[in-house]
Structure formats: C-alpha cells, structure tokens
Amino acid sequence: MYKVTDLTQKGKNYLVKIAHEEKVVEYKVSEDLVIEFRLLVGKEFEQKQMQKINEAINKDANYQKVLHYALFKPRTKKEIFTYLEKLKIEDFGYYLTKLDKLKLINDQLYAENYVSDAINFKKDGPKKILEDLRKKGIALEDINHQLNNYAQSLLEENIKYWLDKKLRTTKNKPYYQTKNMIITFLLNKGFDYGDVNSVFSSNKEIIANDIDEESLIIKEISYLKTKYLKKEQKLTLNQYLTNKLLAKGYQYSIIKKYLEGSLLGDE
C-alpha cells in the first residue's frame, strides 16, 4: 500500500509525501491533483492507483513548465508548440486545451497587441512587423488586418523619428553617403522605399544644412590633392577630384563650388 504522510502548501503548489513500506517519496503537485486524487494525509492507494498518480504527477510537472512559459509573457500558438517539442511532449492537445481554457493562447489578440506596441513604441515599419509576426506563426490575414490600423501620418512620423536619430550618428559624412546610409537603415526598419524617399525629400534642406558638407569637402580636397601629386595621373586634377568626390557621396553643386577654374562647366 501507498500512504500520504504529509501535505504542505508551497506557494501555489503542494509538497506531498507518500510512503511505501519504509521508503518516503516527496512530490511537488498542483492543487488540481490534490483535489483529483484526494491527496490528503492518511489517504491510501493500491499499486495500480499509485501508477496513475505517478503518470498524472509527471504530466502535471510538464504542464507547470508550459504554464510558466505561457505566463512569462504573451505567446503565440506556434511558440507553445515549439516549447512542447523542446520538452519532448507528444500530447499537445492536453496542454493546449488547458491553456486555451485559461485564455492564454489567442493569436488574434497577440497580433493586435504586438502591432500596437510595434507601431507606437518600437516605431517599426510595416514590413518588419509582418516578417516578425510571420516567424511567430501568426496568420497573414490577422497580420494584415492589424496593419490596416497603421495610419499614414503615424508611419511618416515614425520614419522621421528614425531619420533624425540616425542623422545624429552619421556626422562628418557627405550628403549622398549620409542619405544612402539613412535610407538603408530605414528599409531595415521595415519601411517601404517610397515612404522613406518621400519623407527624406521633404526634409532634404534640413538634412543638408545639418551635414555641413562644405566644411567636409575642404579637408577632402586637400587630402586628394596630396594623393594626386604623389603619382602620375591620366586625368587632370579637376577631373580626378570630381570623380573621387562624387564617389565619396558629395553633391555635384558643392564640388563645383570648390573647384574654380575646373573643366566642369555649368550644371
């Protein structure tokens, strides 16, 4: 016979001691199992019943892990499946049903909250949001439904936010080099090229003034002239400087201004 010798509550769970002959084994169980098998002090079980209890305890231990995983932060159904596979659990239905009853799995609600957070706090672009949610197993229909709430005005505001932030970290670089870096950065944030280019164009003068390309080009020309004179060149100095400065991302109008007497001619 097996006999419950002690039952102690530990937080939300219980520690139950079950004796068999001279051996006492301690189990950590949920309140559900205490109720289901009436694991009260003095309760006795036959071997077959104890076998069922052991199976239930093992299953419950896995459920507690899954429950903790689901409660730690919002999860998608795919994430729960992946976690169950990691635990090498085969009876997915049992765990999914229990989590579903607790309303801990709701991909539609997950998508709604994720998109809202991504737009208003992370300030991500639509493409990045879509890609991230697809990786989490959210249906494309649910993602697109939520992305319809991404107002164009807010999208442009988010692009401007990242544009300003990136601009502060790209000092001492020519205009076109800065532009390409910022556009690449914004595309990686998940924004569409058309929207990015539109916002960039609207702020072109502000960006150009912030870069102070004229101060940069004076130093660059001095460096390139020294380099030019060190070895024989097929190009004239102005041609050489123009090619190099354009390749480095300087605006043609700025190059022309500082190469007086060159072969450039009018714009």
Tens-digit pLDDT profile for residues 120-154: 999 999 999 999 999 999 999 999 999 999 999 99
Confidence of residue 163 (pLDDT cuts 50, 70, 90): very high
Share the mean pLDDT of the chain. 88
Percent pLDDT > 90 in the chain is 54
**Side by side, which strands form the sheet with 13-20?**
23-30, 13-20, 2-10, 44-45
**What pLDDT is recorded for position 174?**
81
**Nearest Cα residue to 249 out of 173, 166, 168:** 173
> Looking at the domain that runs over 2-101, which CATH code has it been given?
1.10.10.10
For residue 176, the tally of other CB atoms under 10 A from its CB is 16
Q: How many CA atoms lie within 13 A of 10 on its CB side?
A: 11
- pTM assigned to the model: 0.72
Q: Given a cut of 70, is residue 261 above it in pLDDT?
A: no
d(CA 119, CA 193): 18
Mean pLDDT in residue range 155-170: 91
Confidence of residue 49 (pLDDT cuts 50, 70, 90): very high
Q: Of the given ranges (68-77, 174-183, 238-247, 258-267), which has the lowest mean pLDDT?
A: 258-267
The larger pLDDT score, comparing residue 93 to residue 173, is at 93
Q: Taking the domains of the chain in order of start, what are their residue ranges? A: 2-101, 151-211, 213-258
Place of tokens 């041609």: 239
**What pLDDT is recorded for position 260?**
66
**What pLDDT is recorded for position 263?**
41
| Burial grade of 141 (CB within 10 A; 0-12, 13-18, 19 or more) | exposed
